[in-house]
Structure formats: C-alpha cells, structure tokens
Amino acid sequence: MSEENTLMFPAIEPYRQGMLQVDDLHTLYWEECGNPAGQPVLFLHGGPGGGTSPTHRRFFDPAHYRIVLFDQRGAGKSKPLGEYRNNTTALLIEDIEKIRQMLNIDQWLVFGGSWGSTLALAYGEEFPDRCLGFVLRGIFLCTKAEVDWFLNGINHFYPEVHQRFSDAIPHSERGNLLQAYVKRLFDEEPAVYKEAARNWSRYEGSCLFLEPQAQAIEDFESDEVSLGIGRLEAHYMLNGAFMDEDQLIKNIQKIRHLPAVIVQGRYDVICPPLSAYRLHQAWPSAKFHMIKDAGHAAMEPGIAAELVRATEQFKLHRKFL
C-alpha cells in the first residue's frame, strides 16, 4: 500500500454530478461525494486552470462530509477548456454562489490550496456569512512580488528548469517572460498556444515536489492539464487576479473571526512560505503548520497528513474550539 493510501481516506465516487451553465460561454462540471446529509465542504482546486481529480475527494471523511468539488471556468471537465474570456475572480466567486444555491447549502467549510487558497480567501471576504471556516494550503496572494517570483525567482532553485522555460522564448523577449508567454498562449494557432501551454505547465510541474516526481511532470505536460494551467495562470497573473494589490491581506478583518488552518511547505518554491507567514501575521488566530520536509504539492506526505488532520479537527469541533 502506498504512503498516499495510508494518509488519506479511501477512494470514493460521486453520488451526484452534473454540468452547470453559468453564462453563454462557460459550463462548469460539479460533483458531490460522501454523506448527502453531512457537513458541507467546498474544495477549490489550484492553478488557476488546474481542475479537480479523484484524489481531491480523499481529504475528507466521506461518512461525515458532504463534499462538493467543481472545475472552475476553463479548467478540467468544464467547457471550454482553457477559455480565458469571461474569466475573472469576481465571476468565479459568483459561480461558487450559484453552486451553493443550486445545492441548497447554507454554509460550508472552504478548503483550497495554491490558487485555491487565493480564491477561498477572496470568496470568504465577499461572503463571510457563508463560510464555517477555512483549510488553506500553499498560500498564494497573487501580489506583484509573488508573480515576479514565479516567473523569475524560481531560477535561484531550479536554474535548469527555468532555463528550459525561458529558452522557449526568443532572446529579445526574455526581459518580460509573462508578456512573451501571454503573446503565445493567446495566439490563434493551436500549435503555438499548445506548445506554450506545455512549456509553462512543465515549468510548474517540475517544481511541485521537494523531490521532483516524473509522473507529476508528465501529467502537467498533457494537453488536458497544460492548456488550462498555462492559459489561465498567465491570464490571472497578467491581471493581478483582478484584485487590488495585496487586497486579500488588507481585507482579512472580514474573515478574521472565523476558524482557519494554514498548511505550508517549508521548501515550497512555487508559493514561498513568506505569503503564508504574512497571512498568519494578519490572522493570528488561524492555526499555522509549516511542514519541514515538503515543497508545494498537496500530495507531499507531511502536507497531505496535516490537511486530513485539519478536516478531522473541523469534523470533531464544528467551531474548532
């Protein structure tokens, strides 16, 4: 039995799933798992554009939780894949509310990692009364410094990976890698944008784990994953996630009264620990767990174990006393 299987709950299948049309362009995939009468919990995937996977259901006790997962605009099984038009943080928040209302849920625990933590905070600050609390992993606040780190700073830890990322761009355009990739990711020619998406997504996939995982890199290179990841991450980074600079920290008082758990890998080079530390400084009542031997990925053993521990604590103590 793999370490993953011992850390998490057994694999489960949805008891209900469907497609929700949210506008003339986007239709979202959603699913429910676990206990239909249980405590609602919302899972928010990363990226943007990463999509959900069956593994994501396994952070929650299916006997206790009513587990809601969905693929955000342009991601996973949602249609169209990689679509960046009509795709903003405010619209994603509206989508969450549409799903909540469709499922007749009053309040839920909100669980998100990486970009999922960004969206969880943005949603909570917009609709704090709908949130029971938060489980957040690999914090990303989408500030200018974090975007610059992703595009350039990773070079300090993964120089060979960064070189491959930048070598895909003509030398004359390497002074602004984000703009250079945006130009190609949003090109009309499939051959151009698919190659750019693979290069972008491979770059991230190569840095996810403390010890790089060949399978993760291969998954991130696939068209099914890379198109959503490449296009939407660049789209949101280019636009500062459609938020004011450092908005999530500035508005933290709107959710500071709610319970939260922050889980961060000490050696996360995609979303470095400073962001999680800043969040905890602004939200001192949140429980903060720095995992000493982990990178970014939710499936790092120490991170996965702490995330499960957090959902178990919320299960036992609704108000997380």
Q: What is the pLDDT along the chain (321 residues), one digit of tens a residue?
A: 344 556 899 999 999 999 999 999 999 999 999 999 999 999 999 999 999 999 999 999 999 999 999 999 999 999 999 999 999 999 999 999 999 999 999 999 999 999 999 999 999 999 999 999 999 999 999 999 999 999 999 999 999 999 999 999 999 999 999 999 999 999 999 999 999 999 999 999 999 999 988 888 899 998 889 999 999 999 999 999 999 999 999 999 999 999 999 999 999 999 999 999 999 999 999 999 999 999 999 999 999 999 999 999 998 765 443
Cβ burial, residue 146 (10 Å; 0-12/13-18/19+): buried
Alpha helix stretches (DSSP H) within the chain: 3-7, 89-102, 115-126, 144-151, 159-167, 177-185, 190-205, 214-221, 223-238, 247-250, 273-282, 301-316
- pLDDT for position 62: 98
Identify the active-site residue in 201, 268, 275, 280.
268
Do 317 and 16 meet the contact criterion of CB atoms below 8 Å apart?
Answer: no
Which residue type sits at 66? R
Residue matched to tokens 């699913």: 31
CA distance 8 to 153: 33
pLDDT of res. 317: 62
pTM over 0.85: yes
| 131-137 sheet: strands from edge to edge | 16-21, 27-34, 65-70, 39-44, 108-113, 131-137, 260-265, 287-291
For the chain, which domains are there? 3-142+242-316 (3.40.50.1820), 145-241 (no CATH)
- The amino acid occupying position 227 is L
Q: Residue 318 has what pLDDT?
A: 54
Has 296 been annotated as catalytic?
A: yes
Q: What is the pLDDT of residue 7?
A: 85
Residue count of the chain: 321
State residue 146's pLDDT score: 98
Q: Is 114 a catalytic residue?
A: yes
Measured from the Cβ of residue 75, the count of other Cβ atoms closer than 10 Å reads 29
Q: Which residues contact 208 (CB under 8 A, 6 or more apart)?
A: 216, 220, 270, 295, 296, 297
Residue 29 φ/ψ, nearest 5 degrees: -85, 135
Buried b (16+ CB within 10 A) or exposed e, 45-57: bbbbbbbbeeebb
Catalytic residue among 114, 166, 201, 206: 114
CA distance 43 to 98: 15
pLDDT for residue 321 = 32
**Active site annotation includes 148:** no
Residues 295/269, Cβ–Cβ less than 8 Å: yes
